[in-house]
Structures are given as structure tokens and as C-alpha cells.
Amino acid sequence: MKQFLIAFLLISGMATAQVKNIPEFKFVRMDNGAEFTSKNLTPGKKTFFIFFDTECPHCFRAITEYNKNHQSMNNLNIVIVTRDRKDVAMEFLKRVGPVLHTKKNTVVVLDVYNQFIGRFLPKKYPSMFLFGANRQLILYSDEESDIPTFINIFKK
């Protein structure tokens, strides 16, 4: 199944451009099972989405790096999105992002309705999207080498 998803990500990413604004979505919060939509984002803040998979070594490194730099992320809405099972995802985040996933401004969600790929149009794992307070895309990347760029923008 994961090979199919990766092939889909690659094929769909070649055919389309990245999303330009935060799309409508419906996820499920891992902490309490409540629905989480774009209406739950705190207005007036930049919003950072990280789409990850627990079996992805690049995701491991990305979450680890953001965890180390969590203080630069205090003024953001942070949405960590996965399609993995809750127990597997939480074990992963406790191990590699223990501070990041418990920050007051972070929500960890499950993509149980399979909307992230079709609405955000990521190319591969990890996909990182930073949107401005106006909900317009500032930066998209799926490359580890761009993590310092994101961190520098967070600090502004």
C-alpha cells in the first residue's frame, strides 16, 4: 500500500502545481478524536503543515530538526499530518519530536478521510507547507536541505 501511495504522490506531483492557499480540509485530532478543519486554525498567524510517514527516514530527520528548533516556531499554527495508525505515529513523535508534538500551538492529526494528498498536492514525504497569516503559500518543500530556510522564516 505504501509503495502505491508513493507512486501516486510522484505521479500526481508531476501533473500539478502545489496548492497556493490553505484548502478546506477535515482531519481528526490524535489527542481527543475531534474533527479539525481550517476553521480551527488561529487567525492572524502563519501556519506550518508537515505531512509525514513513520517509515520515512527523511521524515525522521525533518521532525528531529524541527524539534531542536521548536522555540523558533512559537508564533505559528503547527499542524502535523499523517496517514499512519495513531499508535505508530505517536510512538514515532514521542521518540523524534517530543517537544514539537506537545507544543501548545501544535496539533497532530490523522488524515482519516484521505484528503491531504488531493487538496495540498504534496510530491513526497516529508512535505512541508508554510502559509502566511493571509492563508497564502509562502514556501513549499519536500527536501531536507530546505529546513534551515523554513526555520529562518519562522524567526521573522
Q: Is pLDDT larger for residue 6 or for residue 22?
A: 22
**Cα 24 from chain centroid?**
15
Q: Is residue 25 situated within a structural domain?
A: no
Cα 41 from Cα 105, distance rounded (Å)? 10
Axis crossing angle, helix 147-154 with helix 57-68, rounded to the nearest 10 = 30
For the chain, what is the domain count?
Answer: 1
Q: Is residue 29 situated within a structural domain?
A: no
pLDDT at 17: 56
C-alpha cell at 103: 507544543
The mean pLDDT value for 26-48 works out to 97
Q: Is residue 38 situated within a structural domain?
A: no
Q: Is residue 50 situated within a structural domain?
A: yes
Statement: residue 129 has pLDDT above 90: yes
Q: b/e for 36-61, b at 16 or more Cβ within 10 A?
A: beeeebeeeebbbbbbbbbebeebbe
Cα 118 from Cα 9, distance rounded (Å)? 9
Q: Is residue 18 situated within a structural domain?
A: no
User: Domain residues for 92?
Assistant: 45-130+146-156
CATH code at position 153:
3.40.30.10
Q: Are 137 and 105 in contact (CB under 8 A)?
A: no
78-127 confidence digits (pLDDT tens): 999 999 999 999 999 999 999 999 999 999 999 999 999 999 999 999 99
Q: Is residue 22 situated within a structural domain?
A: no
Is beta strand 127-131 parallel, antiparallel or unpaired with respect to 106-110?
unpaired
Q: Is residue 80 situated within a structural domain?
A: yes
pLDDT at 18: 78
Q: Is residue 15 situated within a structural domain?
A: no
49-79 confidence digits (pLDDT tens): 999 999 999 999 999 999 999 999 999 999 9
